[in-house]
A and B are shown apart, each in its own frame.
Chain A
Amino acid sequence: MNFIMDIMGSSLIAGILFLLILKLNLYSSNANYYSDNELRLQQNVKTLAEVMNYDLRKIGYKYDGTAIVTAEPTRIQFFAEMNAPGTYGHGTVDFVEYYLGDSTEASATANQRDKVLYRIVNHTDTLGGPTLGLIDFRFSYLNSKGITTSILDSIKYVKAEFWVEPYEHVSNYLTNQPDSSQFTYWELTINPRNI
């Protein structure tokens, strides 16, 4: 009888331990995935910020006249020499355009809301690239006093804001529903020195 009780007791404890390990494994997988996603978010948003930071600072470089041609919330067009001094191609002013596509263009990702940000140089060199989880993008334009303006030659600052989500939503550990609360917001205000 004691033997049976020992077997049952140890089985119960083993079962509890097994469940604990299973739960711990599930939890750690979820947490790992969440953490990876967060890291990827951070890296993606930094990549976008670097690209923006690099390009927007060139607005008007080596161009006489009103450098910004279009100033809309999701589209900007401007003239600038994009090649660094002393590098191949330097000396010709480029026409650069940024605009935000819509979510149907990124159907391969599980996230139905992500969009592609397009960068077009001289009307031909189109760079769409991956979405990087970008779900929204906003430009705003400020004059020298920091007031929003739509007058092209009054623009002294360009503010870019972007919202990035993971490609695939993480399932909530408790509800098992896609958790959409994970996102990153980044904003940068740039004062292009050549305008």
Chain B
Amino acid sequence: MGKGLLIVALGMSVIISFFILKLNANSKENLSTTINMFEQTQARLIANSGVEVYLERLKHDRSMMNKNFPNNNLFGGTYNISISGPDSLVQVTSRATFMSVQHTTVVEAAADKVPLYPGPGAMYLSTGTVAGLKKNAINGSIEINGNDHDINGNLIGGGSSVPGIAVDGVTQKNSVIAMITKNTIDQVLGSGGTPSVSVINNQVDWAEYAKLVADNPDIIIDTQEKVKTINIWGTLNDPKVTFVNGDIKINNSQAASGCGILVVNGSLEINGNFNYKGLVIAFKNTIIDIKLNGNAQILGSLVVAGTQINVDVSSGNFKAFYSTEALNLIQALLVTKRFSILSWWE
């Protein structure tokens, strides 16, 4: 009887063991099905991210063209990158491996340069800037001239003209005219009569444009310590993109001159001499505060799409002259802003 029971018990144990093993095998297989889907997804995401990473790097370093970049690590996997082609048709191939699952992504892209948008006037004031204008925002010995000037600031006879001050609407125009009339500023010249304050149809998102232009600047002024006694932010032979980011002051014992594109995000207070040739864009929460005890000249165009501008000249003078010659100089500075994707295989 005892033996019989033992045999029965052993038999049942064997049956149950097989049963459990079978269920366990199914469970493992089920899990591996799910995990495999995850691995495929992860491999695809790594390959795609690799393309994004290297297109961004290529934007700043064109020597990466026609090269391979193997064994990059990301998210626990690896990817190999191969870049080929001219600027007009860049092919980036990314082969990713994650937990032995492979995925290939092939992307074709074209380098897309930042377009040149010359300012619409010698000075452009956005609606937001006009709304923040103080009563004496522009005051003192000031000349804003929308007639075309050469690179030395001389008037070009018969040249094209733009408004001295360009604004977005009639309300803004009236505000600006009221302010300059009150402060007896009679040197706002350019197209549309005197004072040359005109409504223009602005199609440019200057804040976005400023960000594109300043994406990879040559000079960054983000602390007061970077402002020296003499500051040179580009020359006629070597124009630069300068990005002033933060609250910066050029005091009356300092001077700054430059050529190229100057993008300002923050508060720029100018007391000392300032001479710039090219395009100056102030955006975001920028406050341009020019309290001159010297001379300041912007030759090209000044675009104020920030919060506020104050030009208070107690001694010396401030000149903003439109110059196509100065603006043409900056064409070469405009870098590849991004790669526009032509096709994406994944």
Cα-based distance from A61 to B19 in the complex (angstroms): 50
Contact A28-B15, Cβ < 8 Å, known A10-B1, A194-B344: yes
Q: Across the interface, do B23 and A24 meet the contact criterion of CB distance under 8 Å?
A: no
Residue ID in chain B nearest A10 by CB atoms: B1
Cα-based distance from A8 to B242 in the complex (angstroms): 105
Q: Across the interface, do A46 and B37 meet the contact criterion of CB distance under 8 Å?
A: yes
Asked if B208 is at the interface (CB within 8 A of a chain A CB), the reply is no
Cα-based distance from A39 to B37 in the complex (angstroms): 14
Asked if A147 is at the interface (CB within 8 A of a chain B CB), the reply is no
Interface 0/1 of B327-346, CB less than 8 Å to A:
00000000000000101111
Residue ID in chain A nearest B22 by CB atoms: A32
CB interface residues, A 18-50, toward B, < 8 Å: 20-21, 24-25, 28, 31-32, 35-36, 38-39, 42-43, 46, 49-50
List 10 A-B residue pairs with CB atoms under 8 Å apart, sorted by A's residue number: A20-B12, A25-B15, A31-B19, A32-B22, A50-B40, A62-B343, A84-B106, A84-B345, A85-B345, A194-B343
Q: Across the interface, do A24 and B15 meet the contact criterion of CB distance under 8 Å?
A: yes
Asked if B8 is at the interface (CB within 8 A of a chain A CB), the reply is yes
Q: Across the interface, do A35 and B8 meet the contact criterion of CB distance under 8 Å?
A: no
Q: Across the interface, do B33 and A193 meet the contact criterion of CB distance under 8 Å?
A: no
Asked if B104 is at the interface (CB within 8 A of a chain A CB), the reply is yes
Q: Across the interface, do B104 and A61 meet the contact criterion of CB distance under 8 Å?
A: no
Q: Across the interface, do B22 and A17 meet the contact criterion of CB distance under 8 Å?
A: no
Q: Sort chain A's interface into a size bin.
A: 20 to 34
Q: Across the interface, do A61 and B23 meet the contact criterion of CB distance under 8 Å?
A: no
Contacts of B1 in A (CB 8 A): 10
Q: How far is the CB of A40 from chain B (nearest CB, A)?
A: 10
Q: How far is the CB of B43 from chain A (nearest CB, A)?
A: 12
Q: How far is the CB of A173 from chain B (nearest CB, A)?
A: 14
Asked if A159 is at the interface (CB within 8 A of a chain B CB), the reply is no
Contacts of B201 in A (CB 8 A): none
Asked if B30 is at the interface (CB within 8 A of a chain A CB), the reply is yes
Q: How far is the CB of B60 from chain A (nearest CB, A)?
A: 23
Asked if A156 is at the interface (CB within 8 A of a chain B CB), the reply is no
CB interface residues, B 1-50, toward A, < 8 Å: 1, 4, 8, 11-12, 15-16, 19, 22-23, 26-27, 29-30, 33-34, 36-37, 40
- Given contacts A38-B26, A194-B343, could you give 10 more A-B pairs where the C-beta distance is less than 8 Å? A20-B12, A24-B12, A25-B15, A28-B15, A28-B19, A35-B22, A35-B23, A35-B27, A39-B26, A84-B345
Q: How far is the CB of B49 from chain A (nearest CB, A)?
A: 13
Contacts of A119 in B (CB 8 A): none
Q: Across the interface, do A193 and B23 meet the contact criterion of CB distance under 8 Å?
A: no
Cα-based distance from A36 to B30 in the complex (angstroms): 10
CB interface residues, A 31-77, toward B, < 8 Å: 31-32, 35-36, 38-39, 42-43, 46, 49-50, 57-58, 61-62
Contacts of A36 in B (CB 8 A): 26
Q: How far is the CB of B11 from chain A (nearest CB, A)?
A: 7
Cα-based distance from A4 to B256 in the complex (angstroms): 120
Cα-based distance from A42 to B23 in the complex (angstroms): 15
Cα-based distance from A49 to B33 in the complex (angstroms): 12
Cα-based distance from A25 to B18 in the complex (angstroms): 11
Contacts of B345 in A (CB 8 A): 58, 61, 84-85
Q: How far is the CB of B332 from chain A (nearest CB, A)?
A: 32
Residue ID in chain B nearest A20 by CB atoms: B12
Contacts of B12 in A (CB 8 A): 20-21, 24
Contacts of A39 in B (CB 8 A): 26, 29-30, 33
Cα-based distance from A58 to B345 in the complex (angstroms): 7
Contact A84-B341, Cβ < 8 Å, known A17-B8, A31-B23, A32-B19: no
Residue ID in chain A nearest B31 by CB atoms: A42
Cα-based distance from A32 to B22 in the complex (angstroms): 7
Contact A42-B15, Cβ < 8 Å, known A10-B1, A84-B106, A193-B344: no
Contact A193-B37, Cβ < 8 Å, known A21-B11, A24-B15: no
Cα-based distance from A50 to B30 in the complex (angstroms): 16
Q: Which one, B15, B341, B346, contacts A21 given CB within 8 A?
A: B15
Contact A193-B106, Cβ < 8 Å, known A24-B15, A28-B19, A57-B346: no
